[in-house]
Amino acid sequence: MPDPLEREGAPLNAPPPLNNSEREALDRLAQVGGERLVHDLAALYLDQSPERLMAAQAALHRDDAESLARAVHALKSSSAQLGAQSLASACEAAEDAAERGDLRAARAELGLVVTRYQAFSEWLSARATVAPDVSRDVAPSPTGPVIAVVEDNADNRLLLDAILGDRFVLHEYANGTDALAGLRARRPDVVLLDVSLPGMDGPEVLANIRRDPKLCDVPVIALTAHAMRGDRERYLALGFDDYVAKPIVDEDALVRVIERLLSRSRTSSGATRDGRERS
């Protein structure tokens, strides 16, 4: 199997210098969860990314466009979260080429992905080499509304825990099958559902939720790195209650969406109880 950091059709010119987006993203993440969150996300990214690149190159050698698209999609989402916009754009181009079935173009784009990953990973390694010496107070277990997070990328789950963990009770699932079993065992108040799950994807999970009498009225928010014009309307038409793009750059906006859906659910439940009492 080829070295994941070999340049697969990479251009000979040097990679572009890093810009401020990486630094700004890490500063924003530090505001959310401190230097510990930055270190943990960086360590996870540096651990998982070579495996994703290896999977992408192996898929390319097998002419497996679907697996190639899935591997670079995962790398795109994680890179964008850390502010590596140039790398994320290269991943998106490789993903688009793979989804079109154009493996020749995907090969060239994957070379650019590897080149830009090398530059970013070197910078990120230097930025997050030493774990911060920060003692964490043991926070009490949160109480209140239950939020189910269905997301296959561990780094996205880590960030969502940092954003929401002190406000809500979080139940986390890495795939659709486990999520459906968990939701039926422990009904949540809101579901955050990644659209691009492996195997059973988000829309299929949603369809199962809407068919289940015990879950059909649970609000479900679509999470997706496919941020395009008209996405919100398309996901609402599929039956989602709202839509949040990844990477999550406005943590307060996410919380407001969740709070609005919780308020709507409480109002709806109250109206149902009042109607039953009057009858």
The CA distance from 261 to 126, in Å, is 41
Domains and CATH numbers, the chain: 20-127 (1.20.120.160), 146-278 (3.40.50.2300)
Choice between 7 and 129, residue whose per-residue pLDDT is larger = 129
* pLDDT, tens digit (0-9, with 9 covering 90-100), for 208-255: 999 999 999 999 999 987 666 677 788 889 999 999 988 888 899 999
Looking at residue 213, the DSSP 8-state letter turns out to be T
pTM: 0.83
Residue 22 — pLDDT band, cuts 50, 70, 90? confident
Give me the pLDDT at residue 14, please: 44
The CA distance from 106 to 67, in Å, is 12
Is the pLDDT score of 70 beyond 50? Answer: yes
Is the pLDDT score of 119 beyond 90? Answer: yes
Is the pLDDT score of 54 beyond 90? Answer: yes
Give me the pLDDT at residue 267, please: 80
Cα–Cα nearest to 23, from 104, 85, 83: 83
User: Residue 187 corresponds to which tokens in the numbers above?
Assistant: 């009904």
Cα–Cα nearest to 53, from 119, 126, 110, 135: 110
The phi, psi pair for 60, rounded to 5°, reads: -65, -40
* pLDDT, tens digit (0-9, with 9 covering 90-100), for 76-118: 999 999 999 999 999 999 999 999 999 999 999 999 999 999 9
Choice between 163 and 128, residue whose per-residue pLDDT is larger = 163
Amino acid at 248: I
User: Residue 1 corresponds to which tokens in the numbers above?
Assistant: 């199997």
